[in-house]
Amino acid sequence: MHNPSDALTRHEEAEQLYRRWDKQWEQHGYGYWVVGRHDSARQLGFCGIKPMELHGVQVLNLFYRFAASAWGQGFAGEAATAVTIWAAAHVPDIPLIARVRPANVASQRVARRAGLSRAPHLDTEGYDGFDWIYVAQPERWVP
Ligand SMILES: CC(C)(COP(=O)(O)OP(=O)(O)OC[C@H]1O[C@@H](n2cnc3c(N)ncnc32)[C@H](O)[C@@H]1OP(=O)(O)O)[C@@H](O)C(=O)NCCC(=O)NCCS
């Protein structure tokens, strides 16, 4: 299932989104990367991390969104894996999670491909629907 919550319809919305993402890079030193191929200038999608709170705990949320024309070729899995490794090396003190809609099977597979595990006890109502939670280091979340 496609997650429609971030769909943009106007150019100004894209500019505002870019400014927010850029500000996060300035504030935290990490954020979302543009994903492409070495042999092409075409942008395939975005993948990165954003600080947020989950059940009162500061976490990094793993995000990925790709152009529909790029789906099914392993790009999201590869990018999410690279970002997860980067976060473990550069922001090791903040646990990494992913929030995925229960019907978004492709996104769940991407989270697993990046090494994350399901943590049903952390599932929660997100800002735009119920989220299944995946975590990078389950041992940090033992209740
Ligand atoms: C979710 C999304 C990033 C997946 O991108 P992708 O490039 O197609 O993913 P990949 O090709 O790397 O595939 C990753 C895994 O998902 C599986 N997969 C891909 N599309 C699938 C589908 N429609 N149904 C089931 N599994 C699917 C692949 O087989 C692969 O599984 P594997 O790791 O076991 O081999 C992409 O569909 C997307 O951008 N969707 C809209 C935004 C979104 O939902 N983002 C996630 C928000 S939580």
Q: Does an H or E element contain 14, and which?
A: helix 11-28
Q: Residue 105 C-alpha to ligand 1 middle, in angstroms?
A: 7
Write the residue with the smallest CA distance to atom 16 of ligand 1. Answer: 106
Pocket of ligand 1 (CB under 6 A): 2-3, 64-66, 70-77, 100, 104-107, 109-110, 113
3-state secondary structure 63-132: EEEECHHHCCCCHHHHHHHHHHHHHHHHCCCCCEEEEECCCCHHHHHHHHHCCCEECHHHCEEECCEEEE
All structural domains of the chain, each given as residue ranges with its CATH number in brackets, are 6-141 (3.40.630.30)
CB atoms within 10 A of CB 6: 11
pTM of the full structure? 0.92
- Give residue 94's identity as a one-letter amino acid code: I
User: Could you read off the pLDDT tens digit of each residue along the chain, which spans 143 residues?
Assistant: 456 556 788 899 999 999 999 999 999 999 999 999 999 999 999 999 999 999 999 999 999 999 999 999 999 999 999 999 999 999 999 999 999 999 999 999 999 999 999 999 999 998 889 999 999 988 887 65
